[in-house]
Every structure is written in structure tokens, then in C-alpha cells.
Structure 1
């Protein structure tokens, strides 16, 4: 379980560029053993880019909840254990030909990557943190 972030931490992290937010997500997800999505009555929230249908993911509840405004105000932040992400989500997203948008900020800016790439990077981070 993660420690709640204070507003100054949230503001600082929100201003990171997409690559720095990606690195932050990798460390936080591995440290806290959970990744965050938004859900509604239809399931997981999806975003669309020109090329891909994507599932947005966040490293902490606070960042996911910050997205639950406007059209998405009825959405709920939901955590997925890292083990469940590895065992079910990566393969399910890949099978459905969905991409992952990593830690989009309020301007909808985030890295779009394949689920297998995110899974690989999370596993690499796990090896680093277990040393």
C-alpha cells in the first residue's frame, strides 16, 4: 500500500515530462506492488490516439483520481496488484491489441507503449529493487 502524496509532491510530479513520469511510474508500481486504472460501469476506461486504443495507467491513486473529472467524474480509481498485472493484464491487453498510455497528465500527455514493453520494464525494475 502506498503512502498518500501531499499536494506539493503531486504538483511537482505532474510537471515531469512524459519520460520522467514513466520512470517514476516504474519505481512506484514496483515499490507499492500495485498499478492504478480508472473504471466505470462498462469496465476499464480507454483512451484513443490516432493509432491505438489505450488503457491509461497511473502509479498512485491520487493521479488516477485527478483524471476522474468532466466526462469521467463517475469513474473510480482501482488498483491492480502487480502480480495480477503480470499474470493477466499484460496478456489480455496484448490479445485485445490494446496499448498502454503510461501516467498521462491532465493535458492527456503520456507515453504510449505495448503492454509487453511495460511488463518487461516493470520486471527489470523489480530486479533492480531486489538487489
Structure 2
């Protein structure tokens, strides 16, 4: 498992949502995995408009750090990047679920499924 030092961890979580989103894209492509929170089902939230959001993180350490409040009792669970692109994103799109990228106590980058796919695929092309 990738382990961040405390300094990098603190620096990253204090970044605005758009910077954390860029970090997320680079890291999930680097390690070919995405992390969600799971407890008898995947953790989710709702935005002000009633949209269902699935919180997604670039690694286990970040996911673990935010398994609190309404996600208390959830554990980080890995999703292989290829499976995420082939199965998760089409399923989320058809269910009208939005990815909530790297939510912290302050904010989150809520993305359109197609935008997230394009950004991941664009990053993958660099490898």
C-alpha cells in the first residue's frame, strides 16, 4: 500500500477541490486503483438537489481519514481502475449517480461521469 507521510497528507487535504481532483486523477492512474468507502454497500451522500454522490479517493489512507460522520463504520475498499472504467462509470451514469471526488470536511469535486472518464483516459495516454 502506498503510504503518504503526514506532511504530504496534510498539504493535499488542505488544497481546494479542483487541485485535489487533479491529484486524484494522477494518483489513480499511477496506481491503477480507486478507493471508496464500504459497509454492507458503498457509502454515498446526497447534494442539495437530491443527486446521489459516491465518495471516491486516490488511496486507502485518504479514504480511511474520512470514514467518519455519516460514513462511520465504513472501511476503505479498493476498486481496480480498469473495472472502474468498464463497469462502475457506465453503471453510475445509468443510475444518475455522480462521483464525489476526494471529499473532505470542507468540500468535494462533484464531477460528471463523462468528464471523469475523459480526464482519467487522457492521463492514461501519458503512460
Tell me if both proteins adopt one fold, taking TM over 0.5 as the criterion. yes
Please name the residue that 1:60 is paired with: 59
Report how many residues are paired: 126
Specify the SS of the correspondent of 2:116: helix
Please name the residue that 1:115 is paired with: 113
The equivalences for 1:1-131 within 5 A come to 2-41=1-40, 43-51=41-49, 52-107=51-106, 109-128=107-126, 130=127
TM-score (norm 1): 0.91
Specify the SS of the correspondent of 1:91: helix
RMSD: 1.1
Distance 1:71 1:53 in 2: 14
User: What are structure 2's unaligned runs of at least 5 residues?
Assistant: none
Provide Cα deviations, 1:39-96, integer angstroms capped at 9, x if missing partner.
112x111111012211110101111001112342210100100000011000000010
User: What are structure 1's unaligned runs of at least 5 residues?
Assistant: none
Indicate if the aligned counterparts of 2:18 and 2:109 stay in contact, CA closer than 8 A.
yes
Distance 2:68 2:53 in 1: 19
TM-score (norm 2): 0.94
Distance 2:63 2:2 in 1: 15
Indicate if the aligned counterparts of 2:44 and 2:54 stay in contact, CA closer than 8 A.
yes
Shift of 1:114: 1.5
